[in-house]
């Protein structure tokens, strides 16, 4: 198995419809021990996640569920310390947490801008910083951050300027981590999905707009969470041992550049 015995922290994993959950399921199937982190990680939600993974992969996963406000650095450091106390180490971090608002530039209120940047960019920074302290001490580790095609094309299919800016920051942050920590054997890469059928689309996209976007995708379908999870598995495993600082497009050909 590609991740046999590896301890993988997945942030943003509370929704069974989400990229984080799909990644958790695939990683568990690939032999990983999981630490699932989310602001909404309550006991009932965690129980449902574990049952779903077990049902779909045919075995009980080794998994912990931890609640965390990623906009708070101290809370991130606490969760990472708990993960290490539970499993002894951390080998991989996957940052899937994010929020989106479909707003035009002139309609973005300061509070909305701050919230999007706090979760999408500051949150990613906080978790990366907390985990990098562990990785640097042992001189190895892998980070996979989720950005968006919005970071590449200037504006998203769904999100506004604040969302695009936050995800552009995630791309730059990831490249900086790869450059700074590469000499210590630590890899960092970023995935840029396009439209993926998750709860993030709810209320942000009409059916007509959805169909219009799909018609313009060369593969003629939206992305599935499992599509992104497969790219996460590649980047987390030794299959990508010489890949760092890379931006991986998973967009069905909707943004070929």
pLDDT at 78: 98
Average pLDDT of the residues in 129-150: 97
The mean per-residue pLDDT over the stretch 197-212 comes to: 75
Cβ-count burial 15-32 (b if 16+ within 10 Å, e if not): bbebbbbbbbbbbbbbeb
Per-residue 3-state assignment (H helix, E strand, C coil) for 80-126: HHHHHHHHCCCCEEEECCCCCCCCCHHHCCHHHHHHHHHHHHHHHHH
pLDDT band at 205 (very low <50, low <70, confident <90, very high): low
Q: In the structure, what pLDDT confidence band is assigned to residue 156 with cuts at 50, 70 and 90?
A: low
Per the annotation, the verdict on 21 as an active-site residue is no
Higher pLDDT, 94 or 214: 94
Catalytic pick among 21, 113, 163, 242: 163
Residue 202 pLDDT greater than 80, yes or no: no
* Residue 131 pLDDT greater than 90, yes or no: yes
Mean pLDDT within 212-237: 94
pLDDT at 155 over 80: no
pLDDT per position as a tens digit, 44-78: 999 999 999 999 999 999 999 999 999 999 999 99
Would the pLDDT of 157 be above 70? no
All structural domains of the chain = 7-250 (3.40.50.720)
Confidence band for 212, pLDDT divided at 50, 70 and 90: confident
Q: Is the pLDDT of residue 201 over 80?
A: no
């Amino acid at each position: 198995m590609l991740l046999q015995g590896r301890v993988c922290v997945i942030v943003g994993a509370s929704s069974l419809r989400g990229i984080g959950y799909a990644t958790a399921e695939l990683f568990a199937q690939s032999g990983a021990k999981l630490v699932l982190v989310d602001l909404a990680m309550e006991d009932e939600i965690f129980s449902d996640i574990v049952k779903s993974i077990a049902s779909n992969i045919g075995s009980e996963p080794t998994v912990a569920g931890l609640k965390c406000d990623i906009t708070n650095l101290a809370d991130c450091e606490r969760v990472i310390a708990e993960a290490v106390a539970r499993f002894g180490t951390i080998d991989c971090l996957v940052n899937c947490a994010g929020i989106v608002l479909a707003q035009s530039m002139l309609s973005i209120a300061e509070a909305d801008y701050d919230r999007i940047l706090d979760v999408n960019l500051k949150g990613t920074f906080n978790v990366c910083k907390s985990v990098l302290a562990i990785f640097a001490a042992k001189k190895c580790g892998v980070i996979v951050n989720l950005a968006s095609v919005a970071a590449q094309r200037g504006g998203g299919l769904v999100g506004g300027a604040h969302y695009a800016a936050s995800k552009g920051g995630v791309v730059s942050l990831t490249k900086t981590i790869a450059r700074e920590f590469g000499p210590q054997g630590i890899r960092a890469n970023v995935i840029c999905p396009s439209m993926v059928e998750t709860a993030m689309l709810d209320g942000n996209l009409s059916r007509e707009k959805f169909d219009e976007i799909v018609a313009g995708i060369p593969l003629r379908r939206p992305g599935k969470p499992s599509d992104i999870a497969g790219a996460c598995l590649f980047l987390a495993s030794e299959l990508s041992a010489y890949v760092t600082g890379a931006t991986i497009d998973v967009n069905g050909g909707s943004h070929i550049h």
